[in-house]
Amino acid sequence: MKNFKLTNVMLLALVVLVSSCSSDDLDDTPKSSALTLDINGLDNLGSDYLYEGWIIVNGAPVSTGTFSVDDNHTLSQSSFTLDAEVLESASDFVLTIEPNPDPSDAPADTKIFIGSFDGNSASLTTGTVAPSFDAITGKYIIATPTGTGAEEEKYSGVWFLDNSSGSPVAGLELPALEAGWKYEGWVVIDGVPLSTGTFTSVDTADDASPFSGSNPGPNYPGEDFLVNAPDGVTFPTDVRGKVAVISIEPYPDNSAAPFTLKPLFGMIPTDAMGVQEIGDYVTESFPTGTVSR
């Protein structure tokens, strides 16, 4: 009889112990949580590149997943499931542009967004592209120094310099870019964007001159549109009344059009003579966003 009573007491104690444990206590499955992106203004990267998000946990990057963007700037995926404990430990969020396929499991240099978590959200900025765009200016001249001097070539070139003092100086005031980015000049002619070349320095020649003539050009970014005209455009041309752009491009870059980051943008006057100014376009062209967890 004593043994029977003892067994019953032990069973009763076991039942009480089990019932006092919650299902969470017994379930050791890792908990998950969602990271949600609310981003506007990103460009379609084509098939060779993808955007990739990263959270910084104890100083180390952890991928949150990749996504693409269509021509309407819509993200293919905006919510990503992550380990809840890891996500809660994140201090920052970073968005990069990565090759597709990607041979590396580390973030690329082309970091377009960064944001520090304040509670469960982070406001994203382009601070990883350049320190600041608060003080930028742009000036250019219309000239064709690499041409023959023929009258029909007169208005077929743009050079980002200022020669109003009689001697040329840099026409652009732009911040130094972080690794993974380059500036690129453009003139949009009849809907066709024509590159004037990529550059990182405003007071040296840019990286290429595919349309210029055989004479030497100024030691500043710019281009004459005289040879190798693409389909839909005839050279020489008249750039007056067209659009001038300075963009910031991911490097390497597979697109023949300006990237979404356009710090300087403006119409070239139809009666342009002498030094012209190009307007600040940072607010209108730079993407914005937040991330929440």
Q: Where do the structural domains in the chain lie, given as residue ranges? A: 32-128, 137-284
The C-alpha atoms of residue 218 and residue 280 are separated, in whole angstroms, by 24
The stretches in the chain having pLDDT less than 50 are 1-2, 4-6, 9-23
Q: How many CA atoms lie within 13 A of 5 on its CB side?
A: 2
Q: What is the CA radius of gyration of the chain?
A: 28
The C-alpha atoms of residue 223 and residue 189 are separated, in whole angstroms, by 13
What pLDDT, on the 0 to 100 scale, is given for residue 254? 87
What pLDDT, on the 0 to 100 scale, is given for residue 30? 75
Strand partners, 189: 192
Do 211 and 225 form a contact (C-beta atoms < 8 A)?
Answer: yes
What pLDDT, on the 0 to 100 scale, is given for residue 14? 41
Structure token digits, residue 24: 């969470």
The C-alpha atoms of residue 151 and residue 85 are separated, in whole angstroms, by 70
What pLDDT, on the 0 to 100 scale, is given for residue 26? 53
What pLDDT, on the 0 to 100 scale, is given for residue 6? 42
